[in-house]
Amino acid sequence: MRRLLYVIGLFVVVVMMSAAWKSPRSSQFVDGEVLVKFKGTVSAQSSESIVSNLGARTMARVRSIGVQRLRLPGDMTVQEAIEQLYKSGAVEYAEPNYLVRASIIPNDTQFGQQWGLRNTGQTGGLSGADIDAAPAWDTITGTTSVIIGVLDSGMDYRHADLKNNLYTNPGEDPWSDPNDPSTGNKIDDDGNGLVDDWKGFNFLADHNDVYDDNAHGTHVAGIAGAVGNNGQGVSGVCWQVRIMGLKFLNAAGDGNVGDAIEAIEYAANMGVDILNCSWGGPDYSETLRNMVTYANGQGVLLVAAAGNGGVNTDDTPEYPACFEVPNVISVAASDAGDQRAVWGNENETTDDCGFGCSNVVAAVPGSNFGVTTVDLAAPGKDILSTVPGGYAVFSGTSMSAPYVSGAAALVLARNPGWTPSQLKGRLMNTVDKVSAFSGLCVTGGRLNLQKALAGS
């Protein structure tokens, strides 16, 4: 899966900003935009005056965390705007609107079997190196009372293996043609500020069509919640669920924090239980962290892809996976042999202290890891799932995260009312301990759905 990036410019920061703004590790952001949170003691009139003096305008207000998204005048750089905002003494923080990218490594290899759900060695891997989904389904296959939000590139809401599991907003008048977003009644029926958001919303383009022009979001949705036992295509981890499409990544898999926070706020306020975030990047955003914290308060479990650079995120963090917020669960990728997934030819380890030293991972591109920042592993290499109009095999931690999201949905179906911390604890405490992940993640193991449901 392609690495998701959200990054800030490489420029000199004035001394008064240094304590409030962490140094960036990358250099991409939305030109002409800034995210700012004014201090609580600053009046609305004063903040409006400061924005006006910049020559900027407020594009959006994310009221749940008190953040404004500003559009700067054409002759002002992001650096200049942030410097002026801090000099006013009125801001809690100001930061660029970082860019993000979907975490996917496409693979055109066609497999007809979903080894991550039931591994019999059909792909040459290790029999039993799976999440034990088949026996788990004897306990429960899902419920339509649980909502999974897929914050991604959208989804194919016409797909035969997804359409019966799609979320529809009960407060919004249905489209006259369920496959055509333009056939809504052009009225904000539920008064949430968005028109015709019957099947989620497109925060990238600010309209109600969440159709996937990348394939990533549809693939993720299918892993978590493709309709099961319907005689066609593939099965999701959770056979019955409601999947909400939240589009913020474009056709190239790129997005930004400004769109992401609006989508997360919407999802949290609309009752999403589990939010799948198969994307990430190297730059710390206080705005994004605040929104993740808000989602925690609203009872949302946030499942995040650990990233695909083959790095130790204890030292080189990825966000949102590395936010220290109770509702975040970070997921690494395993392969069909129960090894840490790599995107090259070999899954090897190396060391500097002679043969036999363990858990020193070779510098090859693959799943990220981290004994304090990555929670558990799930299947993530050569994963068959839905894409617009059909099916395809992709690899990456983007694929691992929705295994955990689907599992969380099933656990929640058995335990209505559980908090994000309870769901996270159950999933982490019931992993299969795997030697390849010992010392590489908090649990040292890979998701086991049957164990997670046992005793529920």
Q: What is the identity of the amino acid at 284?
A: Y
Report CA-CA distances (Å) from 109 to 68, 222, 367, 380, 394.
Answer: 44, 18, 19, 14, 8
CB count in 10 Å sphere of residue 235: 24
Q: Which residues contact 84 (CB under 8 A, 6 or more apart)?
A: 54
Nearest to 76 by CA among 113, 51, 112, 46: 51
User: Rg of the chain over CA atoms, in angstroms?
Assistant: 22
- Select which of 196, 197, 216, 219 is catalytic: 216
- Select which of 132, 152, 197, 335 is catalytic: 152
Nearest to 389 by CA among 109, 152, 161: 161
- Select which of 153, 395, 398, 405 is catalytic: 398
Question: Is 358 tagged catalytic?
Answer: no
Nearest to 403 by CA among 423, 383, 422: 383
Nearest to 374 by CA among 281, 429, 444, 295: 444
Question: Is 159 tagged catalytic?
Answer: no
Question: Is 197 tagged catalytic?
Answer: no
Please list the active-site residues: 152, 216, 398
